[in-house]
Amino acid sequence: MGLSTLSEWTGRIGELVIGASHAEGGTRSHVVRIGGERDLPYIGTHPSGHKPLVAYELADDPSLWPAAATRYIGDWVHDTADWAAYAEKEYTPDLIRLHLTSTRHRGFSDTSRIGTTIESVLQATRLPLIVEGSDDPAMDSAVYQKIGEAAEGERILLGTAEAGRYRSVAAAAMAYGHSVIAQSPIDINLAKQLNILLRETGLPSDRIAIDPYTGALGYGFEYSYSVMERIRYSALKGDTDLAMPMISSATDSLTVKEVREAQGSEAEKTAVAWELYSMLPATIAGASIVCVRHPLSIAGLKSAIDSLWNGENVEGV
């Protein structure tokens, strides 16, 4: 874009590594690095830091996943490992983000199955992995320990720590060498507080990714955009407690009314548009990883990010 920065920033965003190659004791084909920015995203002929990445989200129990996401993939969704392998080959995302939705069933207790699922996904794909555990504090301890153990050596990004429940996630990350997603409810101060809490458990700050929580487009996205900007400004101004890369996922995009009700040929287009037009702005606000659930969103998002990154004019974007 050829723009130069208007501010004299003093801070630098830390670098976070996801995945471990064979040489490092893991089995990934490559590792990814995020963060490292010294300026706002896409600024300068050679933007600072690492280029934003696109993660594809899938779930071990597709019945708890948006229909708009599973419909297009079809039968692959019934085997989590096959689903991951297929998505890697067909849609080439930068990362896979596995949500263990099976843990959300009432009375869930089969933690050994989580271990098997993670191991099979790690075998099926060579991409670096993000894993999302339970959302019930009562089972966190058992679930995160199992995830941590099953992915030992693979340096996954593990989610999600929140202010009220971060100990199990942090413990699993520290015990088995992973990193942590720290989520706060669209509030810069709570984001900072959680980072401090995590640091006090002994987790190094270069193993934290901030998730400021992202609302869907038309359903609060602008609040998330604004808080991401503020987190990034603070970090570049020297607040080291906020100088971590950010991850954003428009979690509710595929369940908003407009996407749910779109019919026929409009259905896929609407779903992709909803994801694309929230996740591309998220990278402009500072997100290093953006996550989508519709496979067709991946290519469009990657090419749009490339064009902003390289400063090219691409027709139709």
Interacting residue ranges for another protein, rule: CB under 8 A: 141, 144-145, 148-149, 167-168, 170-172, 174-176, 188-189, 196, 201-202, 204, 230, 233-234, 237-239
Q: How far is the CB of 148 from another protein (least distance, A)?
A: 7
Q: How far is the CB of 26 from another protein (least distance, A)?
A: 16
Q: Which is nearer to another protein, 234 or 253 (CB)?
A: 234
Q: How far is the CB of 30 from another protein (least distance, A)?
A: 26
Q: Which is nearer to another protein, 237 or 260 (CB)?
A: 237
β-bridge partners, 58:
98
Task: Report the distance separating Cα 246 and Cα 232, nearest Å.
Answer: 9
Q: Which is nearer to another protein, 170 or 210 (CB)?
A: 170
Q: Which is nearer to another protein, 125 or 195 (CB)?
A: 195
Q: Which is nearer to another protein, 108 or 144 (CB)?
A: 144
Q: Which is nearer to another protein, 172 or 279 (CB)?
A: 172
Q: How far is the CB of 50 from another protein (least distance, A)?
A: 25
Q: How far is the CB of 134 from another protein (least distance, A)?
A: 13
